[in-house]
Structure 1
Amino acid sequence: MTSKVDRPPTYEDALQHPKYEPNQLHPGSVESQPPSYSPGSGMYSSSPPSYWAQAGMWSVPDLPPSGMPTAVPTLSGGLPATNPGEMEGSFSSQWETTSVRHSFIRKVYLILAAQLTVTFSVVAVFTFVDPVKMFVIKYPGIYWASLVVYFMVYCILLCCKEPRRRFPWNLVLLGVFTVALSYMSGTISSYYETKAVLLAMGITAVVCVTVTVFCFQTKVDFTSCGGFLCIASILLVIIGAVTAIVLSFHYVPWLHMVYAAIGAIIYTLFLVYNTQLLIGNRELAISPEDYIYGALSLYIDIVHIFLFVLQISGSATE
């Protein structure tokens, strides 16, 4: 316990004795502010604390004043807090990117549906209408002319970006390309029986739907296999040349079917590759401006799958 002399004076004594002078009045204030008590020194301090002078509260050493906001730990893992405006901007940009990609996919598949409708309509006419079938078989020069047009337009659309991005030239070139490839497919189909053509159409439809669903569901990235597919296409050309030379001297059914099976498998892998390029959530992706190229690549893959399957089904029915 402390003696009476050692006790700190009361508030009235502190105001009366000169030793404990009250603080100076602030301009415009009515009453004087009471002095603060310092627990460490055991006596009053004549100067008010800095925080009390600003907020009107008592300050305690080594502790935050009452009413002061304390730092609350967050779940940011030591990273600075994200600005709400930046977060909203990132979400909006991501939504715009996703919406643009979805619009691009819809546009590509609409164009692809129109191309396949034209192609299989021509194939049906050349298969079921006997005068047309006999005409294309009698005049094979039209087939070779369509083959030349097919390669020329394909090279233009593949190598030149401006024609395939500039409206309406892109649609004109795509229409010419579709008609040329449709005529080629119809001419080839006219050499096979109706049963083989219908069977090839059904198998092609099942393969395309299966590949599309697989590409949209799988997490495996096939866009990094472009080099492998390039080598496979070169091998297919070499095998095709050798097969054509051998079959020109003596027809071997099993050799023809093996070549057609290899071609169907390779173009199915190309369909997987081009579909994932179209989706856009893989290592590589097609630009949303190249919707003509996206539809063109899928269209070529599907038609070649049909032609190779047609050769297998035709050899099996014979």
Structure 2
Amino acid sequence: MTSKLDNPPPYEDALHHPKNGNYPYQPQNGTPLPPPPSYSPGPGMCPGPPGYWGQEGVYPQAGMWAAPGFSPSGVPTTIPTLSAGVLTSDQGDMDDFLRTQWESTSIRHAFIRKVYLILTAQLAVTFSVVAVFTFVDPVRLFVIRYPGIYWASFVVYIIVYCILICCKEPRRRFPWNLVLLGIFTLALSFMAGTISSYYETKAVFLAMGITAVVCVAVTIFCFQTKVDFTSCGGLLSISAVLLMIIGIVTAVVLSFQYVPWLHMLYAAIGAIVYTLFLVYNTQLLIGNRELAISPEEYIYGALSLYIDIVHIFLFILQVSGAATE
């Protein structure tokens, strides 16, 4: 129990006439006590009720002393805990985000494996047909003697390709797209085998080896590089149009037997253009660029890569065949 004399003085008396010797500004030798420092609110702070930010005389002057939890400027510092850009209170959202990312990555990896499995089967069929047309002389002479079979396979190639492009979604009950893809693979394989039958065996083997090296190098490059080729679709379209124009000009010029080396130049340009298309379609397949193929369109992904590889082989075959001759 305390008396009135022991009670603490009022705030105004303690502020102007302090009697407690522990006050930080205790006067020495009877000198008057200087007024307490004022606190002016900084930018973005609003005056508040007594005892809060913005009231004069409540907080010490900036830099007067430092206490635990206060910065040298006199402003309390708080350090929020962050986890990958998400506050600790939102840890559930962070777990959902990581789970979604993992599921998306696993789906994309399964999609890539499926595409390359289909592509491997297609290339195995194609190069088996090319080997038969190259090594078996009766078959080789038959396709050279009857070129109408080649043009029939070309018509099938165009029709089935248009159907596959227009109907990219897989069927649930029966895999019609896989059946059409098989027909398309046989048609393009027959065309590649017919073209290979006009060249020597050494040129065919050389073209196969160069094509394999190019495809492996392009695949490794696409999985490692940070350059986004999916944003260059317009440039590749222009390159394809120019390649078609150069091909028409080359056919007209060679029909008059002018500039015989022009055919080799056209084939080299075509191999470069389709290599760029292979880079573009591979990055669409990977899916970590500006554009990507949907995981449901595995038929379209395998189809695009297969066409690029076969055309690279055919263009390199023309270069190697002209070089061996």
TM-score interval, normalised by the smaller of the two chains: 0.7 to 0.9
Matched residue, 1:17? none
Pick aligned residue for 1:240 from 237, 247, 250 = 247
Count of residue pairs brought into register by the alignment: 263
Matches of residues 221-260 of structure 1 in structure 2 within 5 Å?
221-250=228-257, 252-260=259-267
Matched residue, 1:144? 151
Q: Does 1:93 align with 2:100?
A: yes
TM-score (norm 2): 0.75
Q: What amino acid does structure 1 have at the position aligned with 2:79?
A: P
Deviation at 1:161, TM superposition (A): 2.8
Segments of 5+ residues of structure 2 without an aligned counterpart are: 12-50, 53-57, 59-75
Matched residue, 2:34? none
Matches of residues 280-299 of structure 1 in structure 2 within 5 Å?
280-299=287-306
Matched residue, 1:105? 112
* 1:220–1:143 Cα change, 3 Å: same
Matched residue, 2:80? 74
Using the alignment, how far apart are the partners of 2:139 and 2:211 within structure 1?
Answer: 24
Using the alignment, how far apart are the partners of 1:106 and 1:181 within structure 2?
Answer: 23
- Greater helix share, structure number: 1
**Would you say the 8 A contact 2:230–2:280 is kept in 1?**
yes
Using the alignment, how far apart are the partners of 2:278 and 2:192 within structure 1?
Answer: 18
Q: Does 1:263 align with 2:245?
A: no
Pick aligned residue for 2:130 from 120, 123, 139 = 123
Deviation at 1:80, TM superposition (A): 5.1
Using the alignment, how far apart are the partners of 1:229 and 1:166 within structure 2?
Answer: 37
* 1:131–1:142 Cα change, 3 Å: same
Secondary structure, aligned partner of 2:261: helix
Pick aligned residue for 1:171 from 178, 200, 207 = 178
**Would you say the 8 A contact 1:164–1:293 is kept in 2?**
no
Using the alignment, how far apart are the partners of 1:201 and 1:253 within structure 2?
Answer: 24
Using the alignment, how far apart are the partners of 1:262 and 1:100 within structure 2?
Answer: 36
Matched residue, 1:304? 311
Deviation at 1:129, TM superposition (A): 0.7
Matched residue, 2:187? 180
TM-score (norm 1): 0.77
**Would you say the 8 A contact 1:164–1:290 is kept in 2?**
no
Matches of residues 5-84 of structure 1 in structure 2 within 5 Å?
7-8=5-6, 72-76=78-82, 81-84=88-91
Q: What amino acid does structure 2 have at the position aligned with 1:159?
A: C
Using the alignment, how far apart are the partners of 1:79 and 1:197 within structure 2?
Answer: 58
Q: Which has the larger radius of gyration?
A: 1
Deviation at 1:286, TM superposition (A): 0.3
Structure 1 vs Structure 2 CA RMSD: 2.6
Segments of 5+ residues of structure 1 without an aligned counterpart are: 9-36, 42-60, 64-69
